[in-house]
Amino acid sequence: MAELTVSILGLDRLGVSIALRLRAYTEKGGRHRFRLVGHDSRDDFEKPARKQKVFANFERKIHAAVETADVVIMNLPYEDLRAGYELIGASLRDGVVILDTAAVKQPSLAWAADLLGDEHHVIGFTPVVNADYMLDHRLEPEVASDDYFHDSAIYLTPGLRSLPEAIDLAVNFAVILGAQPHFLDPAEHDSLTALTEGIPQVLSIAAYSAAMNHRAWADAQRLTNPPFNVLTRYLLTHHPDALRDEWLANRDGLGRAIDQLVAQLRELRGALADHDEDAIEAFLIAASDEYQLWINRRHKGDWDEQPSATVGIESTIAGSLFGGAITRRLFGTKDNNR
pLDDT at 329: 54
How far apart are alpha carbons 123 and 166 in whole angstroms?
Answer: 8
Residue 21 and residue 56 share a domain: yes
* Per-residue model confidence (pLDDT) at position 334: 39
Tell me the CA distances in angstroms from 51 to 11, 140, 210, 245, 314, one per residue in order: 12, 13, 40, 32, 34
Whether 323 and 261 share a structural domain = no
CATH number, position 112 = 3.40.50.720
Question: pTM value?
Answer: 0.88
pLDDT class of 328 with cuts at 50, 70, 90: low
**Residues 175 and 258 placed together within one structural domain of the fold:** no
**143 pLDDT more than 80:** yes
Same domain flag for 99 and 218: no
pLDDT in the model for residue 314:
43
List the domain range (segments joined by +) for residue 315: 3-184+307-337
**More confident of the two residues 37 and 2:** 37
| Residues 148, 109 within the same domain | yes
- Domain count within the chain: 2
CA dist., res. 190 & res. 254, Å (int): 9
pLDDT at position 3 is 86
Does 217 lie in the same domain as 82? no
Looking up residue 196, the CATH number of its domain turns out to be 1.10.3660.10
Percent of the chain, pLDDT > 90? 82
pLDDT score for 160: 76
- Calculate the CA 183 to chain-centre distance: 14
Is residue 262 located within the same domain as residue 146? no
Same structural domain for residues 39 and 163?
yes
Above 60 in pLDDT, residue 310? Answer: no
Torsions phi, psi for 127 (to 5 deg): -75, 145
**Is the same domain home to 177 and 282?**
no
Report the range out of 59-68, 294-303, 312-321 with the highest average pLDDT.
Answer: 59-68
pLDDT > 60? residue 181: yes
Judged against a pLDDT cut of 80, whether residue 173 lies above it is answered with: yes
Residue 336 confidence (pLDDT): 36
Mean model confidence pLDDT for the chain:
89
Same domain, 205 and 242: yes
User: What does the alpha-carbon distance between residue 43 and residue 237 come to, in Å, rounded to a whole number?
Assistant: 16
Dist. CA 189–CA 124, nearest whole Å: 10
DSSP type of residue 103: S
Report residue 251: phi and psi, to 5°: -65, -35
115 and 82 co-located in one domain: yes
- Whole-Å CA distances, 88 to 41, 74, 80: 14, 10, 12
Looking at the structure, do residues 171 and 235 belong to the same domain, yes or no?
Answer: no
DSSP-derived letter for residue 162 is -
What number is the average pLDDT over the span 314-333? 46
Task: Say what the pLDDT of residue 291 is.
Answer: 96
